């Protein structure tokens, strides 16, 4: 799939990767199939590091639902922002890029979690910090490439994603923890 090839090139900080991603609305809809590996990887991570005293199946189901709500909410928010700023024609390319980059980010996240679980707390903290920095930069770089926008606009959209993630994932975590009590 070209969205994955483009996302991989973007992960290597090659802005030409955006040219590999089909900007059509049909391609954006087709890119939704990339949610399957994202959810499978999320499930694998949930099995590697489950919260204590929580039913594994319930945690995995809630985690998958939270991931879908988070990604859908973010895409809807970006759609409205682009529509409101007169740049709605860029949304299909953004959506394909976002879905492709989500797979790449998920793979990197799973590898980092695997390493962190084998490391000391200090090393695990360093891995987490490095992963967070890389993820934010990758999101910024790919958003900027997909929307052909200034860096400050891309920062705003990445921060919007972070806020939505904190809200949705935080709520899901509270539900999981409440269920475990």
Nearest to 23 by CA among 76, 87, 92: 92
Is the separation of the CB atoms in 74 and 160 below 8 Å? yes
**Number of structural domains in the chain:** 1
Whose structure tokens read 């089909």? 22
Sites in the chain below the pLDDT cut of 50: none
Task: Judge whether 128 and 117 are in contact, CB under 8 Å.
Answer: no
Q: What is the pLDDT at residue 147?
A: 96
Write out pLDDT tens, residues 34-59.
999 999 999 998 888 777 777 888 88
Tokens 């945690």 identify what position? Answer: 59
Residue ranges making up the domain that contains 118: 2-180
Integer Cα distance of 161 and 78 in angstroms: 9
Token code pair at residue 121: 């707390």
Q: What is the mean pLDDT of the chain?
A: 91
Q: Is 165 helix (H, G, I), strand (E, B) or coil?
A: helix
């Amino acid at each position: 799939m070209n969205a994955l090839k483009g996302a991989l090139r973007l992960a290597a900080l090659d802005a030409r990767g955006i040219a590999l991603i089909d900007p059509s609305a049909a391609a954006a809809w087709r890119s939704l199939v990339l949610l399957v590996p994202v959810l499978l990887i999320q499930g694998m991570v949930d099995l590697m590091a489950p919260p204590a005293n929580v039913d594994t199946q319930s945690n995995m189901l809630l985690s998958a639902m939270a991931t879908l709500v988070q990604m859908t909410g973010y895409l809807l928010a970006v759609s409205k922002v682009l529509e409101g700023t007169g740049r709605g024609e860029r949304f299909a390319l953004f959506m394909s890029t976002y879905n492709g980059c989500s797979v790449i980010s998920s793979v990197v996240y799973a590898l980092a979690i695997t390493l962190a679980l084998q490391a000391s707390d200090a090393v695990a903290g360093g891995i987490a910090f490095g992963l967070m920095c890389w993820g934010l930069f990758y999101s910024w770089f790919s958003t900027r490439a997909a929307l052909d926008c200034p860096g400050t606009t891309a920062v705003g959209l990445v921060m919007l994603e972070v806020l939505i993630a904190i809200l949705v994932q935080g709520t899901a975590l509270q539900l999981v923890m409440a269920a475990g009590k």
